[in-house]
């Protein structure tokens, strides 16, 4: 018989599998594939690198997300001071895939690549994502500016804010 | 009147069992939260059959020198860890201490404990996955890929190693091995609250059960009325004997 079955692990894996980045065809809810996002960010994309979520970094990310990140490592693309990240976080029930470009420690742009929830789609709109431009990370790992919420999209807004903080923290770590 | 009393007794005997059953289940349902009935799960195969819930079924088993993956209809078990995957598993290989699983249109990297490291998507569903030396080869129908050494990218077939890949295939299982693998899969279950509720309404036995419980409810009403009628009749007769005039 099984010694242990990790339901959380299963749920996280399921969430990641549901939100697999890089699908070639633009399925329902997918605005841009991660490949297209990287291609647009870097006309000649650098080779992807990975950062492992271990030790203090893992703990800090867990604190930001309020749960462990689904994967043990995160892929990123970096050229000069610019880095690009494709991250997933569950809004209410399904993963939201977000592409974040960071330039010199500040968010250059944040884009919702895939939104699979039935509500809260407003977070995809530029009027909302523009608020993240030039946002940085304070010492307490919070954004250095206020992001106005959207009525009826509280969980999606929260997910995007968490991913923005996570991307900035990861960027800080690769620049150390 | 004698016939009524006789039938009232016989009916009463039969109905008594259901009165106890309905009262007991009713009391339990009134205290669902305190008794945490919704959290308690029942996985009795016979009961699950009544609900039309199938028993766990092994679809395939993949093995590497150190690990075994049992793919069921609803769950996948890596050694002893559940790693529920929504799409079919097409193969499992082990390279540099990392398990690489082919599932639908993705290649999933796992730690030996089943923790998700990363996932890499392919342009088409992965048909097979194999090892050529220590390099992971992914066959996506028309295109074959090699997983780069950092395990971050799938590179197209021009970089294929010369050695013929050793493709991962489902293990052939004897009946005993299949039974053993089935035992690893999580059993389906149903909350105790649901069972008690359906027992209370008769729905546990399908629509016929509901009709039978309806008839029993009608019989209870009839028994209550006949009981009341008999009591009044006896009272009237007793009064008539006491006051003959």
The pLDDT value given to residue B133: 84
Are A87 and A102 spatial neighbours (Cβ–Cβ below 8 Å)? no
- pLDDT surpasses 80 at A68: yes
Q: Which residue has the higher pLDDT, B83 or B11?
A: B11
Give the span between the Cα atoms of B59 and B70, in whole angstroms.
Answer: 8
Nearest to B189 by CA among B64, B87, B98, B54: B54
Q: Which residue is associated with the tokens 């960027």?
A: A171
Predicted pLDDT of residue B144: 86
pLDDT > 60? residue B49: yes
- Find the CB nearest B116 among A1, A13, A21: A13
**Using one digit for the tens of pLDDT, what is the confidence trace for A82-120?**
999 999 999 888 889 999 999 999 999 999 999 988 888
Q: Which range of residues forms the domain containing residue A99? A: 7-21+28-174
Predicted confidence at residue B167, as pLDDT, reads 93
Task: List beta partners, residue A158.
Answer: none
| Domain boundaries of chain B, sorted by first residue | 2-51+191-242, 58-184
Domain-located, residue A121: yes
User: How many angstroms separate the CA of residue A168 from the nearest CA in chain B?
Assistant: 20
| CA pair distance B194, B52, nearest whole angstrom | 14
Task: Please state, in angstroms and rounded to a whole number, the distance separating the CA atoms of residues B224 and A2.
Answer: 53
Domain count, chain A: 1
Superfamily of domain B58-184: YVTN repeat-like/Quinoprotein amine dehydrogenase (2.130.10.10)
Average pLDDT over residues A127-150: 94
Does some domain include residue A2? no
> Using CA atoms, how far apart are residues A174 and A78, in angstroms rounded to an integer?
9
Residue B16: strand, helix, or coil: helix
Is A176 exposed, middle or buried, given 0-12, 13-18 or 19+ CB atoms closer than 10 A? exposed
Contact (CB, 8 A) for B70 and B85: no
Measuring CA to CA, which residue among A7, A19, A13 is closest to residue A163?
A19
Contact A153, A115 (CB under 8 A): no
List CB contacts (< 8 A) between B149 and chain A. none
Q: Do B86 and A17 touch (CB under 8 A)?
A: yes
Tokens of B231: 């009591």
- CB-nearest partner of B152 from A5, A17, A48: A48
ipTM summary value: 0.72
The three-point CA angle B146-B144-B137 to 5° equals 40
């Amino acid at each position: 018989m099984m010694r242990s079955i990790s339901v959380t692990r299963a749920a996280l894996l399921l969430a990641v599998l549901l939100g697999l980045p890089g699908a070639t065809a633009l399925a329902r809810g997918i605005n841009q594939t991660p490949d297209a996002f990287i291609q647009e960010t870097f006309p000649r994309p650098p080779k992807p690198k990975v950062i492992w979520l271990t030790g203090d970094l893992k703990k800090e990310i867990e604190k930001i997300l309020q749960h462990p990140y689904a994967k043990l490592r995160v892929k990123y693309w970096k050229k000069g001071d610019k880095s690009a990240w494709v991250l997933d976080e569950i809004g209410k029930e399904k993963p939201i895939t977000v592409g974040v470009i960071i330039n010199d420690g500040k968010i250059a742009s944040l884009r919702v690549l895939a939104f699979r929830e039935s509500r809260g789609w407003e977070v995809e709109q530029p009027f909302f994502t523009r608020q993240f431009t030039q946002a940085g990370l304070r010492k307490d790992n919070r954004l250095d500016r206020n992001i106005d919420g959207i009525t009826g999209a509280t969980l999606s807004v929260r997910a995007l804010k968490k991913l923005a903080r996570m991307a900035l923290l990861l960027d800080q770590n690769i620049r150390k | 009147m004698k016939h009524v009393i006789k039938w009232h007794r016989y009916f009463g005997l039969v109905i008594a069992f259901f009165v106890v059953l309905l009262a007991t289940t009713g009391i339990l349902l009134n205290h669902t939260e305190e008794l945490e009935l919704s959290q308690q799960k029942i996985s009795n195969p016979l009961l699950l059959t009544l609900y039309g819930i199938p028993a766990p079924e092994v679809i395939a088993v993949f093995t590497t020198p150190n690990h075994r993956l049992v793919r069921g209809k609803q769950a996948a078990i890596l050694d002893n860890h559940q790693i529920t995957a929504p799409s079919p598993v097409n193969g499992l290989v082990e390279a540099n201490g990392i398990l690489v699983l082919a599932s639908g249109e993705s290649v999933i990297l796992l730690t030996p404990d089943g923790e998700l490291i990363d996932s890499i998507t392919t342009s088409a569903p992965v048909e097979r996955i194999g090892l050529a030396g220590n390099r992971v080869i992914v066959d996506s129908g028309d295109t074959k890929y090699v997983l780069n050494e950092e395990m971050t990218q799938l590179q197209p077939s021009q970089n294929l190693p010369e050695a013929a890949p050793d493709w991962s295939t489902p293990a052939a299982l004897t009946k005993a091995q299949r039974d053993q693998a089935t035992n690893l899969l999580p059993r389906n279950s149903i909350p105790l609250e649901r069972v008690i509720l359906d027992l209370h309404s008769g729905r546990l036995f399908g629509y016929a059960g509901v009709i039978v419980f309806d008839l029993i409810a009608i019989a209870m009403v009839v028994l209550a009325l006949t009981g009341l009628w008999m009591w009044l009749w006896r009272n009237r007769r007793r009064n008539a004997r006491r006051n003959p005039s």
